[in-house]
Amino acid sequence: MAAAVRFRVVRALPMSRPAITAAATSVFCGSSHRQLHHAVIPHGKGGRSSVSGVVATVFGATGFLGRYVVNHLGRMGSQVIIPYRCDVYDIMHLRLMGDLGQLTFLEWDARDKDSIRKAVQHSNVVINLIGREWETRNFDFEDVFVNIPRAIAQASKEAGVERFIHVSHLNASMKSSSKSLRSKAVGEKEVRSVFPEAIIIRPSDIFGREDRFLNHFANYRWFLAVPLVSLGFKTVKQPVYVADVSKGIVNATKDPDAVGKTFAFTGPNRYLLFHLVKYIFGMTHRTFIPYPLPLFVYSWIGKLFGLSPFEPWTTKDKVERIHISDVMPTDLPGLEDLGVQPTPLELKSIEVLRRHRTYRWLSSEIEETKPAKTVNY
């Protein structure tokens, strides 16, 4: 009589990277183990209930850009680990962006290397979106843009992460007059030294519903007039739409040619700051009254605002950043190289600026406003 077949059940192991051989379940004694964990084997039609094969840790997911990146990752069926430091109720809106169980929230400490390792240990993609508009007594620009990215890159390298994506800024430069842009340039160098295969994204000023770019200028209506250094005629801006940036970042997680490259994400058009702010006030049907203000006076005013214990209206560093012209990245790949067509400002600005209108103009057509003049330098 044949011997009875014995069965046993082994619990599935935690998720691991595709490079690590993991046994998920076994039903027969002596059966062969799976080469990959089922959670990272792509299958499905590509929606939220599919499996993309991407297990991504997104640092800075609670910020402006982060929610868009998480949404695009969740939309294609990725598992997302979201480290957070805020109150748990401040991340509830992210839970809806992925299928059931696909989003994992993890409390972390930016200065605790063990918590960073815990956040990246099961991921094959790590995205760093951490940023700050102003310095605080707990975190200065060096902490935010240099020390923390270096620690995350180091932990990711040790954990064997396949893709590390670091978001900087288009104007990051060691010679910049802005402290934050200088710190971002140092941060890029540190990340490259620790993780040479890192993908660095350098977007220009990003606009969208929750931005601090278009909304910042639109809120100058409360001051009745808009101060601009040299009336904005010496500053050129090339803003990029937030959804385009997030799509580009997500596409970079899958593009084999993106490894080790630096990308410049910009919009399709360049504007003088004067014409851009004039267009913003035209879209909101507000009276545009600009006046010139010397940079040292404007910086001094920003320094006074920066002393506020609450979120400052502006800061000395922001005044300097606003009046720095966007470089023309002719030697760097851009959104098009990642399959994203940049969206013109005029098509999406109404989404941001409608709430700044009075009730009388709330439903007026965007065609009533003349587009901002563009420049090619």
Helix (H) or strand (E) holding 128: strand 125-128
Structure tokens at 134: 């102003």
Question: In terms of domains, do 367 and 230 share one?
Answer: yes
**What is the distance between the alpha carbons of residues 325 and 178, in angstroms, rounded to a whole number?**
12
Residue 258 falls inside a structural domain: no
Residue 43: per-residue pLDDT: 56
What are the beta bridge partners of residue 195?
none
Structure tokens at 335: 């959104």
Contact yes or no for 75/68 (Cβ under 8 A): no
* SS3 state of residue 374: strand
Summarised one tens digit per residue, pLDDT across range 229-271 is 999 999 999 999 999 999 999 999 999 999 999 999 999 999 9
The model carries a pTM of: 0.86
Which element (helix H / strand E) includes 66? helix 64-75
Domain for residue 243, yes or no? Answer: no
Same-domain status, 93 and 76? yes
Asked if residue 180 and residue 68 are part of one domain, the reply reads yes
Q: Are 22 and 47 in contact (CB under 8 A)?
A: no
Low-confidence residues of the chain: pLDDT under 50 = 1-36
Q: How many domains does the chain have?
A: 3
Residues 215 and 104 occupy one common structural domain? no
52 shares its domain with 170? yes
Residue 229, token pair as written in the block: 């250094």
Q: Cα-atom radius of gyration of the chain, to the nearest Å?
A: 23
What tokens were used for 374? 């563009």
Q: Which of 239, 235, 236, 238 is nearest to 293 (CA)?
A: 235
Which phi-psi region, left, alpha or beta, contains residue 285 (left: φ > 0; alpha: ψ -120 to 50)? left
> How many angstroms separate the Cα of 308 from the Cα of each of 115, 179, 237, 311, 316?
31, 19, 28, 7, 13
Apex 254 CA angle, 265 and 104, nearest 5: 95
**13 and 73 part of one domain:** no
Same domain, 358 and 221: yes
* Within-domain flag for 362: yes
Decide if 250 is inside a domain.
no
- Are 178 and 145 in contact, with CB atoms under 8 Å apart? no
181 found inside a domain: yes
3-class secondary structure, 164: strand
H/E stretch holding 189 reads helix 179-194
CATH of the domain at 186: 3.40.50.720
Element (H, E) at 2: none
Number of H helices, E strands in the chain: 11, 14
Segment (H or E) for 291: strand 290-292
pLDDT in tens, 32-90: 333 445 556 665 566 777 777 889 999 999 999 999 999 999 998 899 999 999 888 88
Bridge partners of residue 7, in order along the sequence: 28
Residue 248: inside a domain, yes or no?
Answer: no
Domain residues for 32?
A: 9-41
Same domain, 185 and 300: no
Task: Identify which of 126, 234, 79, 236 has the alpha carbon closest to the alpha carbon of residue 170.
Answer: 236
The Cβ of residue 16 has, within 10 Å, a number of other Cβ atoms equal to 20
251 belongs to a structural domain: no
Q: Are 107 and 86 in contact (CB under 8 A)?
A: no
What DSSP character marks residue 33?
P
Task: Compute, in degrees rounded to 10, the torsion defined by CA atoms 355, 360, 364, 366.
Answer: -50
Is 176 in the same domain as 318? no
**Is residue 24 domain-shared with residue 65, that is, in the same domain?**
no
Residues 232 and 150 in one domain: no
3-state helix, strand, coil in the chain (%, to 5): 40, 15, 45
Asked if residue 366 and residue 308 are part of one domain, the reply reads: yes
The count of other CB atoms within 10 Å of the CB of residue 282 is 16
Give domain status of residue 172, yes or no: yes
Can you tell me the distance from the alpha carbon of 195 to that of 193, in angstroms, rounded to the nearest whole number?
6
pLDDT score at 28: 30
Domain boundary among 151, 181, 203: 203
